[in-house]
Amino acid sequence: MGNILVCDDERSICEMLDIALRREGHKVETVTSGELAKRKLDSAIYDVIVTDIKMPRTDGIEVLRHMRNSAVCKDALVIVVSSSDSASDRAAVKTLGFNGYFRKPSVYAEFMKLGPMIRELLKGATGGEL
């Protein structure tokens, strides 16, 4: 399966995403800040980046901008995981290119759906709403 970097400032979200993705056989690394994500993106190759938009100091938009300018993983697939459903947030990430937008659910079982969704994305599905 895929090599995935998860970036979210909430540890509990990272843990749930880690479980959901590992259940599908993905190799997962998690970081809890945009600064750490940027360092990882400079030193490792990932198939998929899963990032929150709203994080303190270095937000997900800055992480995506950094990734797209990286020689190492500029072509990785991007899944935005956010509690925000605002049009302005979606527009901001759209300019940087993303392959899916997953609204953070309030129920654990809904988080578990992300693993199979990413599996399908890696098989060749493109863009849009997850």
Strand 48-51 versus strand 3-7 pairing type: parallel
Secondary structure percentages of the chain, helix, strand, coil, to 5: 40, 20, 40
Listed by start position, the domains of the chain span 3-112
pLDDT band (50, 70, 90) for residue 130 = very low
3-state secondary structure of 43: helix
Residue type, 85: D
Strand 48-51 versus strand 77-82 pairing type: parallel
pTM of the model: 0.87
pLDDT band (50, 70, 90) for residue 21 = very high
Poorest-confidence range of 1-5, 56-60, 83-87, 125-129? Answer: 125-129
3-state secondary structure of 30: strand
Q: Which one of 3.50.50.60, 3.50.30.30, 3.20.20.150, 3.40.50.2300 gives the CATH number of domain 3-112?
A: 3.40.50.2300
Crossing angle between the packed helical segments 60-68 and 34-43, to the nearest 10 degrees = 20
Which residues lie closer than 8 Å to 110 by C-beta, 6 or more apart?
none
Q: Largest alpha-carbon pair distance within the chain? A: 37
Q: How do residues 34-70 score in pLDDT, each as one tens digit?
A: 999 999 999 999 999 999 998 889 998 999 999 999 8
In which element (H, E) is residue 111 found?
Answer: helix 108-111
